[in-house]
């Protein structure tokens, strides 16, 4: 399906869905989902390199063309091939990130240096732990969830992403949170908001799901995720709440974990912390059972 590196192609959406399945055979924990990333990187293209997948895209976070390598075959030779290609184009010789499993496979490989990526630590939660909430270290979360459970005006429902009416309702309610986001917004330039809006434009064609939290029929939170039943794993893409409602984040995570465990899903990746101290502190407080760590290999 993919051309041989350094040739690239932009697959159709059905082809991207197939590619997503292939990539998650390598590691279902990762938030690297090509079909979902279409909503973020409009120029996302792919190629095959030694049986691995190379993604190339313009990363607005660093305002540069980025390369990502997914897979575990002939990694040193594959990275060297990418560096040589970048050098021929007079571009910085760096791969945006590889995960710790790839790093273990590289071992003592020479020819490049490894730099940590402080904004790329993804957190894996046990769904059962966040339903039971019996661990003493989760006592504060348990108290916050119980407070919301006692509010009969709060509900949780799954959004029908094939329904333009339901999506319009969610987006309309989300826009009404603006006045609260002014003091709680990590997306000052609106990049993530634009990405999420684009996501909902193509959502009916994707296998992703959306769980929403409401208060008196007004959406006050939502989360988007993929489920891999054969691996008992889910991967979250984003979770947003109206900060004017106390404990909305804790309750939405609790409701999401209950939904997943009822379907036999034991773990969920709740995304990375973007290198933001407040988000990192919050996600660490959720007692992750595992992490996906990313690093950036550079030509030395």
Q: Hey, do 13-119 and 128-265 end up sharing a CATH topology, with the first three levels equal? A: yes
Of the pLDDT bands very low, low, confident and very high (cuts 50, 70, 90), residue 169 is very high
Residue ranges of E strands in 42-107: 45-49, 52-59, 64-70, 98-99
Question: Class of the 13-119 domain?
Answer: alpha beta
Answer whether 0.85 is exceeded by the pTM.
no
β-pairing verdict for 209-215 and 154-159: antiparallel
Does the structure show a pLDDT above 60 at 100? yes
pLDDT tens readout for residues 108-149: 666 677 776 666 678 999 999 999 999 999 999 999 999 999
Sorted by where each begins, the domain ranges of the chain are 13-119, 128-265
CATH number of the domain at 128-265, please?
3.40.630.30
pLDDT tens readout for residues 31-56: 566 666 777 777 889 999 999 889 99
| Long-range contacts of 66-69, Cβ-Cβ distance < 8 Å, separation of 24 or more | 66/96, 67/94, 67/95, 67/96, 68/32, 68/95, 68/96, 68/97, 68/98, 69/95, 69/98, 69/102
Higher-pLDDT residue of 239, 104? 239
């Amino acid at each position: 399906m993919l051309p041989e590196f350094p040739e690239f192609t932009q697959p159709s959406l059905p082809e991207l869905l197939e590619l997503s399945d292939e990539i998650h055979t390598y590691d279902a924990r990762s938030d690297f989902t090509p079909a979902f990333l279409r909503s973020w990187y409009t120029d996302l293209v792919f190629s095959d390199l030694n049986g691995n997948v190379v993604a190339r895209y313009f990363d607005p976070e660093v305002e540069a063309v980025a390369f990502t390598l997914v897979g575990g075959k002939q990694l040193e030779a594959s990275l060297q091939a990418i560096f040589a290609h970048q050098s021929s184009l007079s571009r910085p010789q760096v791969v945006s990130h590889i995960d710790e499993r790839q790093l273990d496979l590289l071992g003592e490989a020479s020819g490049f240096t490894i730099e940590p990526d402080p904004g790329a630590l993804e957190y894996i939660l046990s769904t059962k732990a966040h339903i039971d909430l019996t661990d003493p270290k989760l006592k504060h979360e348990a108290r916050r969830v119980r407070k919301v459970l006692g509010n009969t005006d709060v509900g949780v429902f799954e959004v029908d992403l094939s329904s333009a009416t339901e999506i319009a309702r969610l987006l309309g309610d989300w826009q009404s949170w603006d006045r609260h986001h002014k003091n709680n917004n990590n997306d000052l330039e609106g990049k993530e908001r634009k990405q999420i809006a684009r996501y909902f434009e193509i959502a009916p064609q994707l296998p992703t799901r959306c769980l929403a939290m409401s208060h008196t029929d007004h959406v006050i939170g939502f989360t988007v995720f993929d489920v891999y039943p054969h691996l008992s794993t889910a991967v979250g893409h984003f979770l947003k709440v109206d900060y004017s409602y106390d404990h909305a984040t804790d309750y939405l995570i609790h409701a999401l974990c209950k939904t997943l465990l009822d379907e036999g899903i034991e773990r969920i990746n709740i995304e990375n912390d973007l290198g933001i101290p407040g988000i990192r502190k919050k996600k660490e407080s959720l007692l992750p059972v595992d992490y996906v760590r990313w690093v950036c290999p550079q030509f030395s």
